Each structure stands twice: as structure tokens, then as C-alpha cells.
A and B are shown apart, each in its own frame.
Chain A
Amino acid sequence: MSEFDPDQRVNRRKVLECMAWTGTGVLWAISGGVPHSVGIIDEAVAQEPHGLTFLQISDSHIGFHLPPNPNALGTLEECIAKVNALPKKPAFMIHTGDISHLSLTSQFDDADKIIGQSRLDVHYVPGEHDLVDPEQKLFLDRYGHGTKGAGWHSFSANGVHFVGLVNVHDLKAGGLGNLGNDQLEWLEKDLNAHTASTPIVVFAHIPLWTVYPAWGWGTEDGTQALSYLKRFGSVTVLNGHIHQVMQKVEGTVTFHSARSTAFPQPAPGTAPFPGPMKEVAADKLRTMLGIANVTFKQNEQRLAIIDNSLQT
């Protein structure tokens, strides 16, 4: 079968669509240094992973109210109910941005009220929708305690070093996501304090790898950040922004993007422009939304990432 076989291309597109249509959240398991997805939430529940487990949620877009989802707060609440039903309580949660749709105080309040029902510590990085209030200060006032610059920060848990990066501030015309020199300098210093055997988890809103530049799905100076991570034996990069599950492995680096809890976006190149997929049938929507559950096991080589859709 040739590389350009038309049937093959159709199949590949179908696979991409399926990837895009399956999600509630990702359960991550960190085993012996490398995070790996444990599957969707229901699989994760079945496996009952041991070791450090944390959750990723993303793109809750509280305030969005148009097709295909008139109630983004409701689907976030369904996701948090799934989190609360997990047999093993995760150590903490990360939110990879676009908490709100328009950076309104009421939208952040609504999101906090629902996410608070999980009773988990939550580490936030902003999405571009969280920095659009006139003074661009509501996100930092609320979630920025103990962070540097536009909200970047790091912390360690169970021997794993976590780094939250901000690539949605100071966006330039025609450009992609952007980290900037101040943050890159901080990142280099932060990582220098850790040995190459320390498992690293980096999380940011826009993918640090180039997914689809025509839609702005990439980070201008992401390559510079990744160069600082080369010496580490286990690196996992978690992102949101594109509202679909996408994963790739490059050497010791695993890249993974999570579903939105609010609305799906098309797979790259399958539509003329990005944005909410308006035509999704009501009974299909929940198969395209979700959370991610991640487990780290001490004596295994990979983090386990489980993408969980609200409905399978």
C-alpha cells in the first residue's frame, strides 16, 4: 500500500477524529520516572493505579454558552463528579488554562465553586482567555500566589519535579504562543537544581510543540524550553488549548494534550478554521469532553496517563 493511498488517508483522518472525540480527562500515572496515560477514566478506575496520581483538567471556558454546549458549567460539574468518584483520591489537580471564557470575575467565581467540590489542591496556568480583562490582573490576583512573572512556578511531589509555564501573555501579531526571555532564564535556573534522573512534568496552556501553526497551535520559543529538558531521562509535557487528545513521544519526552471540559475543536486541517465544533450532536458531546488522570509508579519507567471522557 503506497504512502499516498487515498483510503489510508481517510483512515488516518478517522483515527484523528476518534482521538478528538474521546474525552473527559486524563489520568496520569508516574511510574519509575515517565508519566504515561492509564487510559480513559473508566479504564483507570478498573486498573486502580498505585503510586502518585494526579489529575489534569483543561479549557473549562466558563461563560461559553453556544452550540455545541449551552452549559459549560454543567459539563465541568460532571467532570468533577467523575473525579470525586475515583477510588483512589489523586494527590492534586492541574488546570492547564482557559478556566474562563472572558476573564470575568463571575466566571472565575463559578469555576472555583465547582472545582472546589473536588477538595483537591489545584495548580493553575492561564490560557489566553484568562488574561483578557482590561487590566489583565484578575488571573494573577486569584491564582498567582507564590508564582513568578505572569504566573510561572514549580513544585516537587513524590520525587517528581513539576513546572507550570505561561505561554499566553504578551502575544504578538501573527505569532504563536510565547514564553519570553525572562521565563526561559527562570526555567533554565529552575531545572539546573535537579539531577538528570529526576522525572520532570512540564505543563502549559498552548502546546510547547508545534501542532498546527496556521491555527496558532504551537509555541514560538518552545524549542528553547525543550532544549533545557534534553538531559533529563523522563520528561512529560502536558497542554490544553486544542480541545482534543493528541500524544507523541520524542526521545525521552512525551507530549500530551487534554480534552476540554466545555467543547471540542476540529482536528488540525480537518476544518477551514479552529473554534467550537457547532454541529456535534447532543448525544455525542460528552464523548468529546473530559479530564486526564496521571499515575507515577516508583519502579516503572513511565507515567501512566488516562484520558477520561465524560461518556464513552
Chain B
Amino acid sequence: MSISNTMRSALIAAGMGAACAPFVAVFVLPAWSQTVSASAISINNFAFKPQTLTVKAGTTVTWTNKDADAHGIASSNNAFARSKALDTNDDYSFTFSTPGTYQYFCYIHPQMTGTIVVE
């Protein structure tokens, strides 16, 4: 009984996956960390999302400011170039070629911090 229900659910999920794949993909990926080859961070409600991002070496990371206030990206130990001040909807990209852990913060609101792990 329960096996049959599970199978039915799986079949329904597969059907939905075929119909609306992007929705299902978002559902399946863990929210706290993503491994991808080109990647985006949104700045929203005074926070970096995701706060920790894991990427492969050579990935270009793009931050986009979705807040009404301005923000700016700076490495905590000057390990990568600082962005210009980002007005609403401005973005900033940097390509991380060397593996390592990169801590960064908003240089306008330093209580906002984030991490990029380059594998």
C-alpha cells in the first residue's frame, strides 16, 4: 500500500518534472549551498543570498543589488577587487580562478557578510 503510494508520487513528480523542469530543479537543490559553473548572488533585504556560495575555479560570480539602498562588495582581506558602489539593480561580476575560501562584506553596511568557496 505505502510502496504503491510512493511509486505513484514518484510518477507524478516525474510528470511535473517534464512539464515544468525549472520549478522542480529549484525544489531539489539544497538552499544553503550550490555548486555551479556560473553563479549569481542577490543582495536582498540587507543580506547576501546565498550567504555561502560554492563554485568551481574559473566561475564568474555576479552580485545584483535588489535593495532600495546602495551596497558595495569588498573582500575582507583584499583577496579580490572591490566593486563600485552598487545602486538599485546594479551588478558586479568577478571571476574566481584560484581555489580557496573568500570572505567578503558590504563596505557600506559592514554587518552584511558572505563567503565564496572556490573548489
Answer whether residue A102 sits at the interface, using C-beta atoms and an 8 A cutoff.
Answer: yes
Once bound together, how far apart are the Cα atoms of A133 and B83, in whole Å? Answer: 10
Q: Determine if B72 and A275 form an interchain contact, defined as CB atoms under 8 angstroms apart.
A: no
Give the residues from 69 to 90 in chain B that come closer than 8 angstroms, CB to CB, to chain A.
69-70, 72, 74, 76, 84-85, 87-88
- Encoded as 1 (CB less than 8 Å from any A CB) or 0, chain B from 98 to 114 comes to 00000111011111010
Once bound together, how far apart are the Cα atoms of A279 and B30, in whole Å? Answer: 33
Q: Which residues of B contact A214 (CB under 8 A)?
A: 111
Answer whether residue A273 sits at the interface, using C-beta atoms and an 8 A cutoff.
Answer: yes
Main secondary structure, interface of B, reads loop
Report the minimum CB–CB distance from B46 to chain A (whole Å). 4
- Encoded as 1 (CB less than 8 Å from any B CB) or 0, chain A from 153 to 173 comes to 000000000000000000111
Answer whether residue A215 sits at the interface, using C-beta atoms and an 8 A cutoff.
Answer: yes
Q: Which of B46, B67, B103, B107 has the most CB atoms of chain A within a 10 A radius of its CB?
A: B107
Once bound together, how far apart are the Cα atoms of A274 and B88, in whole Å? Answer: 15
Answer whether residue B11 sits at the interface, using C-beta atoms and an 8 A cutoff.
Answer: no
Q: Which residues of B contact A213 (CB under 8 A)?
A: 111
Once bound together, how far apart are the Cα atoms of A193 and B84, in whole Å? Answer: 41
Once bound together, how far apart are the Cα atoms of A228 and B47, in whole Å? Answer: 36
Q: Which residues of A contact B70 (CB under 8 A)?
A: 101-102, 129, 132
- Encoded as 1 (CB less than 8 Å from any B CB) or 0, chain A from 253 to 277 comes to 0000000000000000000111110
Give the residues from 165 to 194 in chain A that come closer than 8 angstroms, CB to CB, to chain B.
171-176
Once bound together, how far apart are the Cα atoms of A175 and B88, in whole Å? Answer: 23
Answer whether residue A216 sits at the interface, using C-beta atoms and an 8 A cutoff.
Answer: yes
Answer whether residue B38 sits at the interface, using C-beta atoms and an 8 A cutoff.
Answer: no
Interface residues on B, range: 20 to 34
Once bound together, how far apart are the Cα atoms of A278 and B110, in whole Å? Answer: 22
Q: Determine if B85 and A132 form an interchain contact, defined as CB atoms under 8 angstroms apart.
A: yes
Q: How many residues of A contact B (CB 8 A)?
A: 27
Q: Which residues of A contact B110 (CB under 8 A)?
A: 171-176, 216
Other contacts beyond A102-B85, A171-B107, A173-B76: 15, CB < 8 A: A66-B68, A102-B87, A128-B108, A132-B72, A132-B108, A173-B74, A173-B105, A173-B113, A175-B110, A213-B111, A215-B111, A216-B111, A275-B67, A276-B69, A278-B68
Q: Which residues of B contact A (CB under 8 A)?
A: 45-47, 67-70, 72, 74, 76, 84-85, 87-88, 103-105, 107-111, 113
Q: Which residues of A contact B (CB under 8 A)?
A: 63, 66-67, 101-103, 128-129, 132-134, 171-176, 213-216, 272-276, 278
Which 3 A-B residue pairs are closest in the complex by CB-CB distance? A173-B105, A132-B85, A273-B46
Of the A-B pairs whose beta carbons lie under 8 Å apart in the complex, a sample of 25, sorted by A's number, is: A63-B87, A101-B70, A102-B70, A102-B85, A128-B107, A132-B84, A132-B85, A132-B108, A172-B110, A173-B74, A173-B76, A173-B103, A173-B113, A174-B110, A175-B111, A213-B111, A216-B110, A273-B45, A273-B46, A273-B47, A274-B46, A275-B46, A275-B67, A276-B68, A278-B68
